[in-house]
Amino acid sequence: MIATDSSISSQTCQSILQEVFGYAQFRGPQQAIVEQVANGADALVLMPTGGGKSLCYQIPAIARQRAGHGVALVVSPLIALMHDQVGALHEAGVDAAFLNSTLSSEEAHQIEQRLLRGEITLLYAAPERVTNLRFLALLDSLFERGLLSLFAIDEAHCVSQWGHDFRPEYRGLTVLHERFPGVPRMALTATADALTRADILERLQLEDAQQFVSSFDRPNIRYTIVEKREAVQQLQRFIEREHEGDAGIVYCQSRKRVEDVAETLAQAGVYALPYHAGLDSRMRQDHQNRFLREEGVVMVATIAFGMGIDKPDVRFVAHLDMPKNIEGYYQETGRAGRDGLPAYAWMAYGLQDVVNQRRMIDESPAGEEFKQVMRGKLDALLGLAESTDCRRTRLLAYFGEQLGSSPQYRCGNCDNCLNPPEVWDGTDAARKLLSTIYRIQQSSGMSFGAGQVMDIVRGKTTEKVTQHGHAALSTFGVGANFSEIQLRGVLRQLIAMGAVAVDSQAFNTLQLTEQSRAVLKGDMQVLLRESVSAPASRKPKRTGAGSAAIKAPIALDGEGLVRYAALKAWRAEVAKEHNLPAYVIFHDATLAAVAKRAPQTLDDLQGISGMGVKKLEAYAQAVLRVVGLK
Ligand code: ADP
Ligand code: ZN
């Protein structure tokens, strides 16, 4: 639906981008989205995290408000983040507000009055508020006055049970469409699998909306998946080697694990804080604030953390336990490097992860059909973890996108491209493992777990082997030439392939399945990556004042670094005064560009990315003063 009453030109949108946000160019499909929505079209926007979704509704909102259409309502699931989102807009000179339970009734009343006068450009609210009657009555009044310019539904995958953050309140949002016909609506998400996408369109009744699908590639993120041994020590080495003093997120499966890992890291001198739904809300909020407002915090968290966090300088996201599916993995890793600077996605993955995830699906109370879908999604993630080819190519293929000219494309920025793994044929080992499982079952009618099966194959006369007479099995010692690590790898892949089942009701014992036969008959090959030990430290460890050494996002000479450090110190003060995260004032990249240019006059500051008109007005003098200090 294109409203013809308000033709907003391409130039208007472009000049808002420059003037308000200080950016010279739209990215990817932003321009098309902004122009269409500004002129009244409905849209579904699928863009990876960090792709730049916010501008897709903020610019149309500004353009439409200037044209007299009133306020854009942004539906956002996270009350805790609204303060900073609105603060960032204020810094850019945009009149924005939120309505949520943290406001007094007096404050809320004032915002309502300003809304009715058409003064506010963007209003943030959570879905449960949007669908309550009192709020709908406010929208009625705005609608009658022609002051509802746009509905932007952020994190729209929350409407779908196939997404990973299902929120039933999102289902109620169809009221917007029914009650306020003609107001343009857009749904935005970073989740792109076909099932979730179809669900969003149907649930939000956006079937006629224009769909804008961006490339999901995040070229600045380096994907690495390592074999899990002592995961926490591996992580600790990874942080020491690559990310000393950097902000990062570490995802763990359980609350208990979050607390243990946070403590271990803290003892090793990492500024690590725990976050999970079991902590009381004050502590959660405090840790989140410290992550956003201070430098170099490593948040150790369950997946309860991260949605809506738009901190641009998260330098790594680590998974100590495997997530449930590729959508979750991609969304979580996507929180690294939103500023476009180099960032890392690191995951440790092992046999236990496969077993745990399969068990969680098996034991969930969901229906069989649902479980089937979940198993399929898990398998795709296992395939990624076991793959010996380009991780990025696989990830994007999962989202239906082909990178480069062929499926064998190599990105050059993932572990498999940078250090192509040796591949060995594990088919023989696999058959020995499978026949052992079969013989144990045959001889005693009992099943055993992975440890016992591997001991038998390797011919180890442990107490348990002797006790059950397993040394007498014909397969005893047939795989003495394989290491335990190799066999574990084979077993992991057999489980991942579904050629071995783990019975979680019976001490995780191993069972054969339909697919076992194909491997036993030699119809199916089992190819594995050769286990490689962790590469030796690449970076010299910083010494002395090292951990406090300033790392700039672009190359700066000595004086440039001094300017950069001074600018960061100044920014920290301003941010504190305004009670906002530092990156809301200026991004690191903006400060680094200033430090490099060494501006003397106001003119010298023009054209630096991230310097909008309002920010120049507010901060140019201070920036010049800080940079001028010798
Ligand atoms: P998303 O919501 O899609 O995860 P954001 O809207 O937070 O992404 O944008 C990610 C980062 O990219 C932000 O820091 C934003 O300021 C920046 N950005 C977005 N669009 C542009 C652009 N056209 N030019 C430069 N930077 C941009
Ligand atoms: Zn690659």
The 3-state secondary structure of 590-611, one letter per residue? HHHHHHHHCCCCCHHHCCCCCC
CA of 50 to the centre of ligand 1 (A): 6
For the chain, residues with pLDDT lower than 50 are 1-4, 533-548, 630
CA of 251 to the centre of ligand 2 (A): 23
CA of 52 to the centre of ligand 1 (A): 3
Tokens coding 143 = 């609608």
At 530 the pLDDT is 73
The rounded distance, in Å, linking the Cα atoms of 596 and 590 is 10
CA of 407 to the centre of ligand 2 (A): 11
Q: Cβ(26) to ligand 1 under 6 A?
A: yes
Does an H or E element contain 509, and which? strand 509-512
Q: Which ligand is nearest to the CA of 217?
A: 2
| Cα Rg of the chain (Å, integer) | 27
Look up tokens 């259409």; give the residue: 69
At 629 the pLDDT is 66
Rounding to the nearest 10 degrees, give the CA dihedral for residues 9, 14, 20, 24.
180
- To test ligand 1's pocket by mutation, which of 46, 57, 85, 338 has the most ligand atoms within 8 angstroms of CB? 338
The rounded distance, in Å, linking the Cα atoms of 271 and 165 is 28
3-state secondary structure at position 186: strand
pLDDT in tens, 311-346: 999 999 999 999 988 988 998 999 999 988 999 999
At 538 the pLDDT is 45
At 80 the pLDDT is 80
Q: Cβ(27) to ligand 1 under 6 A?
A: yes
3-state secondary structure at position 408: coil
The rounded distance, in Å, linking the Cα atoms of 215 and 48 is 8
CA of 379 to the centre of ligand 2 (A): 20
Residue type for position 487: L
At 474 the pLDDT is 94
3-state secondary structure at position 44: strand
Task: Please name the residue whose Cα sits nearest to atom 24 of ligand 1.
Answer: 23
At 480 the pLDDT is 94
- To test ligand 1's pocket by mutation, which of 13, 18, 27, 590 has the most ligand atoms within 8 angstroms of CB? 27
At 415 the pLDDT is 95
Residue type for position 396: L
Q: Cβ(47) to ligand 1 under 6 A?
A: yes
Q: Cβ(312) to ligand 1 under 6 A?
A: yes
Task: Please name the residue whose Cα sits nearest to atom 19 of ligand 1.
Answer: 52
CA of 595 to the centre of ligand 1 (A): 22
Q: Which ligand is nearest to the CA of 394?
A: 2
Beta bridge partners of 46: 189, 213
Task: Please name the residue whose Cα sits nearest to atom 18 of ligand 1.
Answer: 52
Q: Which ligand is nearest to the CA of 338?
A: 1
| Domains of the chain from N-terminus onward | 10-213 (3.40.50.300), 221-349+387-421 (3.40.50.300), 424-529 (1.10.10.10), 544-627 (1.10.150.80)
Task: Assess contact for 595 and 615: CB atoms under 8 A.
Answer: no
Task: Assess contact for 275 and 302: CB atoms under 8 A.
Answer: yes
Q: Does the predicted model carry a pTM greater than 0.75?
A: yes
Q: How far is CA 66 from CA 34, 94, 97, in A?
A: 15, 11, 17
Q: Cβ(612) to ligand 1 under 6 A?
A: no
CA of 223 to the centre of ligand 2 (A): 8
CA of 179 to the centre of ligand 1 (A): 32
Residue type for position 247: A
The rounded distance, in Å, linking the Cα atoms of 618 and 486 is 62
Beta bridge partners of 625: none
Q: Which atom of ligand 1 is nearest to the CA of 334?
A: 4
